[in-house]
Amino acid sequence: MKILFLHGLESNNQSSKVSCMKRYGHEVCAPEMNYKENQELYKKTLKTVKEIKPDLIVGSSMGGYYAYHLGTHYKTNLILLNPALPNRSFDPPILPDGIEKSNIWALIGKNDDVVDPIVNENILKRVGASIEIGNHGHRTPEDVFEPYFKKVLIDLGLNS
């Protein structure tokens, strides 16, 4: 399966989540996302999405914000990890939402002190996301991500 991974604002593309997905035999594209300095990043990322045609986009925090909006321009499956939907430290330039409706799975840490988990959950409920609340904070550790990733694969009809 082709997966696009979008890391968070204060993170990088060398994530343990990428290693985890690759261990399961998936082809993972994980570009470096310079959210603050690249004013064309959203458009460039949307172009990448249309070129590689991912079966799944996994986005963490600001990457989850991007994935959520990219999923309105390209119909696919999304895993959003504490997406920065209700509040961000800044608003990167993005395009207005498109008309596509992607399938959304969201993992929210109930102890998130960066993005309000209750507001996040309410936004995601309104768009019909399948939501799971975890015991973690804003960062999603690999030992929390891996079983969730496996669960989504089963939901998608893939064994792993």
Q: What is the pLDDT of residues 33-59, one digit of tens each?
A: 999 999 999 999 999 999 999 999 999
Whole-model pTM: value is: 0.96
Question: In the CATH scheme, what is the homologous superfamily, with its name and number, of domain 2-155?
Answer: Alpha/Beta hydrolase fold, catalytic domain (3.40.50.1820)
Torsion on CA atoms 128, 131, 137, 139, rounded to nearest 10 = -80
Q: What is the pLDDT of residues 72-88, one digit of tens each?
A: 999 999 999 999 999 88
Other CB atoms within 10 A of residue 86 CB: 15
Which is it for the CA torsion 122, 128, 134, 137, positive or negative?
negative
Q: What is the pLDDT of residues 1-29, one digit of tens each?
A: 999 999 999 888 889 999 999 999 999 99
Other CB atoms within 10 A of residue 135 CB: 8
Q: Can you read off the two tokens belonging to residue 143?
A: 């030992």
Domain map of the chain by residue range?
A: 2-155
The span from the CA of 135 to the CA of 77, in Å, is 24
Q: Can you read off the two tokens belonging to residue 83?
A: 């997406």
Other CB atoms within 10 A of residue 120 CB: 25
The span from the CA of 134 to the CA of 47, in Å, is 33
